[in-house]
Structure 1
Amino acid sequence: MQITTLPDGKICDYIDGTIRNDTPEEYVRQNIERRLVKELGYKPERIAVEFPIKVGSSTKRVDLAIFPEGAQHIQVNIDIIIECKHEKVRPSDKKDGEEQLKSYMSACPNASWGMWTNARHKSVYRRIVVAGRTEWEEPNDIPAHDGNIDDTNRPTRDRLVQSTDDNLLFSFRTCHDHIYVTDGLPKDKAFFELLKVIFCKIHDERNVSKPLEFYSTAKEKASNDGRLTVQKRIGKIFDEVKKRYSAIFDTNDVITLKPRSLAYIVGEIQRYNFLDTHIDVKGKAYEELVGSNLRGDRGEFFTPRNIQRMAIRMLDIKQDEKILDPSCGTGGFLVIAMNEVIARLRGRISGLPDTDAYRHALNEEIRETASRCFFGFDINRELVKATKMNMVMNNDGSGNILQNDSLLHPHQWEAEFREKLAKALEIDPAELHGPDSIGYFDVIASNPPFGGRLPVSDRETLVQYDLAHVWKRTKDGGWQKTDDLYASRPPEILFIERCWQLLKPAGRVAIVLPDGILGNPELEYVRYWMITRCRIVASIDLHPDTFQPNNGTQTSVLILQKKTDAEIRKEERQRQLDDYEIFMAQVLAVGHDKRGNIIYKRNDEGEEILFATQEDGTELFEVGAHGDASRRIVRPGKQIDDDTPVVANEFLTWKNNTAVLGW
C-alpha cells in the first residue's frame, strides 16, 4: 500500500517518522536506530531523535537520547546518549569527537551510558562516580533494553543478536581499521588476521555443547594482563579452528594481532550471532571488506548480489547437482547457490523436532553436500582463500575451492589441483587429460574477467579453443573454423567455450558477458558457435550502471544449455537449427546509480515513494530482542528500485511452461 512520497535527498526517520535530509551522518544514525530496536530490543517510544539539552548556557541537540521505560522525555531522565557522525569526523576532533559526547553526558545527571560512532569507529563510555569523582569506563557496548550489562562482557547463546542493515559492516570496518592503525599491518594482512578472529567466533558458536568462550570483558580490555588472558583464550579456539578447517589454515598459523587489538576486536563482534544473521547482511559486509582489500588488477569487478541471486534463481538448481564457478572471486554465486540448496534441505526436516541431534545431522548433511556438489576455481590465490572463508561463514561448507587458471589446457594443470579435483569428482586424475574430458558439472554460474587489458596469448592455451581460431564465412551463410589461430583472444570469449567444455550434456550455465560479444559484427562467429552448440535459453540485458562505480561496460546475463551430441548431429543432418523460444528481458533498474548509491522507487514526478510494507524487513518495528514483545508500528519506508527479482520470477514461470528445457 502506497503511503506518501519523499522529495529528492530526503529520508523518513525510522524512529519518529520525521522527514530529514539524507546525509552521510543520517545514514549512520538510521542504521543505529534500527540496531537499537531490532538488535537490542528498545521500544521506539523510549528513543528521542535530536533531543535538545542544556549544556551550560547553550542548547545542544543529541542525536539519540534513550529514556527509561515510561519516563517523561526530559533532560534529567536521559539514560543513554548516542552521537552519530560522518566517517570523516575523527574521535579526537575537539568539536564533534568523543569529548562532545562526554560533555553531553556530564550535562545529564542520569546519563550513565554513551556511544560515539562514525561507522568506522565506535567508542562506548559508562560514567561512574567514585568518591565524588567521575570516572569513565569503556565497555564493549551499551546494554540491551532490559539494562543487562552482562551481555556487554560475556554474552550467552540465548542473548546473541542477529545483525541488521549495515551494522555488521560497521563492525567489520571498525575492526579492520583498528588492526590497520594499531598493528601497522598492510590492508590485505589486516584483512586475513580479522578473518582468523571471525572464524574463531563462528567455531565457538557452533560448539553448542559448551559455554561461549569468545568474549572479552571491559576489565580484560583495560589491562595488559587481561588482554593476554583474552589472547590465550582465543588462541585455544584458533587451535581447534585449524584442525577443523585444515584446507584453509596451516598447522603453524597463529593470530599475530597485538593483545590490545585482539581484545578490542573480540569485544566488538562478540554480541552478534553470526550463524543466524541473514546471508545478505553477512554477504554485503564480507564482500565489501574483501573488495576493498583484495581486488586486484585482473578485471576483478565483483558481481552485485542481486545479479547473482537472479542468475542462481533462474538456473533453478536441484539438490545433488554439481555447480561450478570457474572464476569464483569472493564466491558470491556459490554462497547464494549453497543457501538455495540448504533451504531445500531444511524444508525436508521442517516437521522434525528442533533438537541438537537433528541440527547436528543437518549440519553434517550440509557439509557433505558442499564437499560433493560445490566447486570454485580462481587464479588469485588470496581470493580462493577468501571464498573458502565466505562459504564457511555461510553454513559451514567450504566446498572444493581451488586455485587454478581455468583457461589452461588440462595437461598444464598442476598435479595438486588435478588430484584434488579428481578426488572430489570421484574419478581417476588421468581422466582429466584434455578439453574434451572435463565435462562433469551440471550447472555453472560465472562472471569471468573481461577486457582488452587481459588478452590470452599463450599458444598452448589458445589451441584448445575453437573460438581462438580464425573463422571464415561459408557459402550458405554459416561459419567454418580454420586452422589459423589468433595471436591473442579476450578471456571472456574463451570462458564461454571453457564453460561449455566443463558442462555435462544438457548442463546449463549463467554467464555475465559484455554486450560486444552479442552485437559486434566482428564477433558474429562467436554467436554462431554458441547457437550451434548451445540452446540460448535466456538473454537478460543488464542496466548500464550494473558494475558501477568500478566499470561502465554494458553487460548481459546469458542462460545457455549445452546441446547433446545427438542434438548437434540432428541439426547438422537437417542443415538447420531447431526452432525454439528464447526468454528475453531488460533490467531497467538495478538498485544503484553510477556512483554506487542506492536508488529507490520514484513516482512520475521523481519523488521517492514510501510504502507501508515489510519488503526488506526495515519498515516495521520487529518483536523486541530476546523474545520481549514490542509494539508493532507501521513505519513507511522506501523500496529499492530493482528489477532483478521480477525478471527471475517471470523467467521461472516461463520455464515451467516450457517443457522442452528438461530441467
Structure 2
Amino acid sequence: MNFIQEGIDKGLITFDDERKYITYVHRNKRRNYSNPEEQVQAESFLKLVLRYGYDPKRIKQFVAVKIGSDTREADIIVYNDDECTSAHIVVECKKEDVSEREFQQAVSQAFSYAATGTVRAKYFWVTSKIKDAYFEIPAEEPKNYLSVPDVPQCGVSKLAKYKYAKGGGELGKQQLFELEKVTEDELTRRFKQAHNSLWGGGELNPSEAFDELDKLIFCKIWDERKPRKKGEAYDFQIFSEGTEEKTKQELQKRIHALYDEGRKKDSEVFKDNIRLSAEKLRTVVGYLESIHLGNTDLDSKGRAFETFMGSFFRGDFGQYFTPRPIVKFIVDTLPITNESLVLDTSCGSGGFLLHALDKVRQEAAEYYPDFESNPKMVNDHYKHWHDFAEKNLYGIEINEQIARTAKMNMIIHDDGHTNVIAADGLLPVDDIADNDGNITQQGLYSKTGNKGFAYNRFDFIITNPPFGSGIKQTEQAYMHQYGYAQKGVSWLDPKSKITPRESQSTEILFIEQCYKFLVEGGYLAIVLPDGVLTNSSLQYVRDGIEENYRIVAVVSMPQTAFQATGAGVKSSVLFLKKHTASMTEKIQNQKVRLQDGIKSRHNYLQQLEQIDKEKKRHIKDLKGFENPQGLSGKALSESEAYKEWKKEAGTEYKGKIDALKETLSEQYIQQKQQEGEDYPIFMAIAEDIGYDATGKPTRNNELEIIGQELGRFIEGIERGEA
C-alpha cells in the first residue's frame, strides 16, 4: 500500500513542486521532507489514519512533553478524545538506517514519553519503517511495559495475539494483516540492518552473524510456504504471550520448529543448529516478520540478497563476485534450455546458476504464456523450470560458507533445491562426487555424495575461476593429474622430457578441469585474465585450447570491469566449444606431422649435431682465446679468463641454435595457419558494460549488442553454417 500517494489523494498531506516540503493539512504544519525521520513520520501518521482508522483530529504531531525539568518533543500522539486530553498511543519515529542500539534507545525514550504524568498513554510504538516495535503499559504496573504484536485500531479495546495472518482477516475486532511485498532497496536495508544487529554488540563476528541470518531467512521462507487456511497466523512473528520472557521463549520454539521442518526437506543447506539467543532471534524477527519474501518480485529479492551478500563477502573474504551485466551477457548468449546440463566449477554465490535458472523460467513463460490464469498450465510451467533447477544445475564452491549462501540464494529465487556443494573444484571428479559439502569434525568431507558430478556430462560450463593464485606441486596431491601442471616435451628439444611444473595458476588448471567435465560439443564460457591470451610464456596453454576446443569468441572486458568489486585485473570472456576426441587427435597428429616434416626438410637433428661439434672444436682449439701465460691443463681450465671465454663461446653457439629454432618455429606457424582447420572467430572489445569503476550505472551497455550478435553467431555454428 502506498500510504504517501493515498494520503495525497485523500487530502491528508500535500507537497511543494520539488517534493522537498510536506504539509500536514489537518494541522497546517509544513515540514522538511528531505529529513529521513520526517519521511518515516509522514508514513506513520498516514498508517494511523488509513490503516488504523484514527481521525486526524485526534492525532497531534511534534508534541511538547515535559519530563522533570526538561521539555522534549514526541513525534506523534494519538488521543482518545476530540479535545486531545486523554493520550492513547505515543509514536516515536527514527530514520530507516538507525542502528539496533539506537532503536532500543528510542524504545526507552518513547516509554518515558508515554509513562510521564502529562501524557499517560496506554500504548507506544517505535518505528523506523523497516522495523516496528509495539508496547503496552499495564495500568497496574505503569513502570514497566510489555511487547504486543501491534497497537490497537480505532475502537478496539482488546488486542489480538498476533498481527499477521494468511489473507488478513480479523481476530476479535482487531484487523489482521497479510504480509507485504517490499521494494529491492527496502529489502536490502532490512537484510543489512538485521545483520548489523546480530554482530554490532560483539557477541558474534560478522561471519557468524551472516550464517545465523541465513538460517532465519531460511525459516522465513519455509514459514511462508507452509499450507495455511485464510486467517491462520504465520509463525515467523512476535506473538503476545503475557510476560516478556514467555514471549521470547515461545518465539524461539516456533523458529526452531520451522528450522527443523525446513531442514528435513532441504537437508543439504544447513548442518548445524540455530545458535542465537531468544533475544537475538526476536531482534531479527522484528526486521523480517512483516514482509512476504515469496510474493516479493523475484528479481528484486534476488538483487537485494546479492547486494547485501556481496558487500558482506567483499569485506570479510575478499571474494570478487562476477558483476551482474557480465553474468547476464554470458548466460543470455548461450543456447541454454531446460534440457541443458549446466555447471559452474567456481560458483561463488551462484550468480551464473541463478541467471541460467531465470533464463529457463522465461523459456517456461514462453511455452506456457497463460500459466498465471490457466490452471492447466500451472504445473507444466512449474515443472519446466523446477525440474531444470533440481536436476540440471550444478555448482562447486571451495568456501563452505559461500557454498551455503549459494544454496540460500537458490532458495530465495524460489528454487528450493540445488546441487551446489562445498569442495575444491580442482579435485578429481570422484572426490567431488563423493562430497556433500558437509565437513566432519576431523576436517574430512562426508561421503553421502552427489553423483551428478561426472566427467563428460555437462552441456554448458559458465564460470569465473579465481585469478592470480598459484598451486604448488607440493600443496595438492591432484596436481600430477593435470597436463597443464607438467612441462611437456618440446618438439625442437630432443633432450626434453615431461617434468612437473613447480606451480600452476588456478585459472589455467580450471580450463583443463572444465574440458574434462564437458560433453563433446559442449560450451565453456570462462572469464580469464588477458595474460592467458597474450603472454608468450603461456603459449602452451593456448596450444592446448586450440587442440581441445573450437575457439568460438573472445570478448575483451574494460579495465574497470572488476574494479568495483575490488579486483583490477584486465580480463576477457572466452567462449569455447569442446572438440570431439577424433578432432583433437586429428589436430594433434597434424601438428606432429608438420613438426616432423619441418625438422626433416631442414635436417634439424644433423644441424644440431653439427653446431655441437663446431662448439666442441672451437673450445678444444682455444679459437680466439688469448693465452699469453701459456696456461694448460688444470691451470687453464680453472682460470677466470678461460671460464669467461668458454661461457661466451657457449652463448655464441646457443644463439645459433636459437636462431635455427626460431626459423623452424616461424615456418611451423605459417604452415599450421595454411594447413590447419580454418574457421571464423567472433572478436569484440567492450568499453562500456553498463557501470563504471565505482559500480555506478552508465547509460550504455555494449554487452547487450555484442551478446545479440554473438548469440546469432553461435546459432550459426549449431546449424553448421559457421
Is TM-score (shorter-chain normalized) higher than 0.5?
yes
Whether 2:424 is the aligned partner of 1:405: answer: yes
SS of equivalent to 2:503 = coil
Letter in 1 for 2:236: Y
Alignment map for 1:175-574 (pairs within 5 Å): 175-180=194-199, 184-210=203-229, 211-217=232-238, 219-220=240-241, 223-250=244-271, 253-291=272-310, 300-352=319-371, 354=373, 359=378, 363=382, 366-410=385-429, 413=432, 415-416=434-435, 423-424=451-452, 438-452=455-469, 458=475, 460-470=477-487, 483-532=498-547, 533-544=549-560, 546-568=562-584, 573=590
Matches of 1:546 and 1:650, distance apart in 2: 19
2:502 counterpart letter in structure 1: A
Matched AA of 1:321: S
Q: Check conservation: 1:373, 1:399, Cα contact below 8 A.
A: no
Which residues of structure 2 form unaligned runs of 5+? Answer: 1-13, 21-32, 79-86, 169-177, 437-445, 591-673
Q: CA deviation at 1:377?
A: 0.9
Are the aligned partners of 1:81 and 1:101 in contact in 2 as well (CA < 8 Å)?
Answer: yes
Report deviation, 1:244.
0.9
Structure with more contact order per residue of length (Cα contacts < 8 Å, sep ≥ 6): 1
Asked if structure 1 preserves the Cα contact closer than 8 Å seen for 2:321 and 2:565, the reply is: no
Deviation digits for residues 74-113 of structure 1 (CA, Å, limit 9, x no counterpart):
xx9x99774326667951798xx66788899999999998
8 Å CA contact 1:230, 1:263 repeated in 2? yes
User: Mean Cα displacement is larger for which, 452-461 or 299-308?
Assistant: 452-461
- Separation in 2 of the partners of 1:335 and 1:288? 14
Query: Pairwise mapping of residues 84-123 of structure 1 onto structure 2 (< 5 A)?
Result: 84=95, 91=102, 115-117=126-128, 122=131
- Which whole-Å CA distance do the structure 1 matches of 2:358 and 2:384 have between them? 13
Cα offset, 1:267, TM superposition: 3.5
Which secondary structure state, in structure 2, belongs to the residue aligned with residue 215 of structure 1? coil
1:557, 1:215 → 2: CA distance?
44
The correspondence of residues 117-196 of structure 1 with structure 2, limited to 5 A, is 117=128, 122=131, 124=133, 153-157=163-167, 159-180=178-199, 184-196=203-215
Q: CA separation in 2, counterparts of 1:643 and 1:333?
A: 22
Greater Cα offset, 294-303 or 389-398 = 294-303
2: CA distance, partners of 1:335 / 1:468: 32
SS at match of 2:218: helix
**What is the deviation of 1:566?**
4.7
Q: In the TM superposition, what is the alpha-carbon distance from 1:324 to its structure 2 partner?
A: 0.5
SS of the residue 1:84 aligns to: coil
Distance in 1, Cα, partners of 2:41 & 2:62: 20
CA–CA distance in 1 between the matches of 2:473 and 2:552?
A: 26
Superposed CA RMSD in Å reads 5.2
Amino acid at match of 2:570: Q
Cα deviations by residue, 1:125-168 (Å, 9 ceiling, x for unpaired)? 5798979x899876668999xx9x98982242463222213211
**Residue number in structure 2 paired with 1:647:** 703
Q: Following the alignment from structure 2 to structure 1, what is the Cα–Cα distance between the partners of residues 152 and 526?
A: 47
Question: Are 2:434 and 2:447, in contact at CA under 8 Å, matched by a contact in 1?
Answer: yes
Question: Match of 1:387, SS?
Answer: helix
Deviation by residue 1:166-217 (Cα, 9 ceiling, x = unmatched) = 2112222232233335792333333222222222221122223444532323
CA distance in 1, matches of 2:682, 2:123: 65
What is the Cα deviation at residue 486 of structure 1?
A: 1.6
**Contact 2:65–2:73 (8 Å) recurs in 1:** no
Aligned residue identity for 1:578: D
Unmatched 5+ residue regions in structure 1? Answer: 1-13, 68-75, 426-431, 433-437, 476-480, 600-639
SS state at 1:91 partner: helix
| 1-structure distance, mates of 2:220, 2:713 | 46
Aligned residue identity for 1:661: I
Cα deviation digits, residues 419-458 of structure 1 (max 9, x gap)? 8776336xxxxxx6xxxxx121111111111124666654
**Per the alignment, in what secondary structure is the counterpart of residue 559 of structure 1?**
strand
Per-residue deviation, residues 14-53 of structure 1 (Å, max 9, x unmatched): 9877388xxxx9797799799999x99989xxx9xxx995
Separation of aligned partners in 2, 1:34 and 1:507: 57
SS in 2 for 1:424: coil
Distance of aligned partners of 1:292 and 1:352 in 2 relative to their CA distance in 1, 3 Å threshold: closer
1:268 positional shift: 2.5
Deviation (angstroms), 1:397: 3.7
The correspondence for 1:588, drawn from 688, 706, 710, is: 688
Determine the C-alpha separation between the residues in 2 that align with 1:100 and 1:461.
62
C-alpha distance 292-584 of structure 1, shift in aligned 2 (>3 A) = closer
Residue 399 of structure 1 and its aligned partner are, at CA, apart by 2.2
Letter in structure 2 aligned against 1:468: A
Partners in 2 of 1:498 and 1:451 — Cα distance? 17
**Residues in 2 aligned to 1:440 and 1:421: alpha-carbon distance in whole angstroms:** 17
Question: Aligned with 1:641: secondary structure?
Answer: strand
Q: Matches of 1:142 and 1:104 in 2, distance apart?
A: 16
Q: 1:470 to 1:356 in 2, by over 3 A?
A: same
Per the TM alignment, residue 586 of structure 1 is displaced from its structure 2 partner at its CA by: 1.0
8 A Cα contact 2:90 2:113, kept in partner: no
Could you state the TM-score of these two structures normalised by the residue count of structure 2? 0.64
Q: Which entry has the higher C-alpha Rg, 1 or 2?
A: 2
2-side partners of 1:41 and 1:308: how far apart?
A: 46
Instruction: Provide the residue aligned with 2:601 in structure 1.
Output: none
TM-score (norm 1): 0.69
Aligned partners of 2:319, 2:470: CA distance in 1, in Å? Answer: 12
Q: Is the 8 A contact 1:314 1:648 kept in 2?
A: no
Q: Cα deviation per residue 1:291-316 (whole Å; 9 max; x = unaligned)?
A: 56666988632222332222221224
Q: 1:571, CA displacement in angstroms? A: 5.3
Please list, as runs of the form range in 1=range in 2, the aligned pairs for 1:7-46 lying within 5 A after superposition: 18=18
| Structure 1 residue 576: Cα displacement | 1.7
Following TM superposition, by how much is the alpha carbon of 1:375 offset from its aligned partner in structure 2, in angstroms? Answer: 0.5
Q: 1:86 to 1:354 in 2, by over 3 A?
A: closer
Amino acid at match of 2:560: P
| 8 A contact 1:305–1:332 mirrored in 2 | yes
Cα separation, partners in 2 of 1:201 and 1:40, compared to 1, 3 Å: farther
Return closer, same or farther for 1:143/1:176 CA change in 2, 3 Å cut-off: farther
Superposition deviation, residue 560 in structure 1 = 2.2
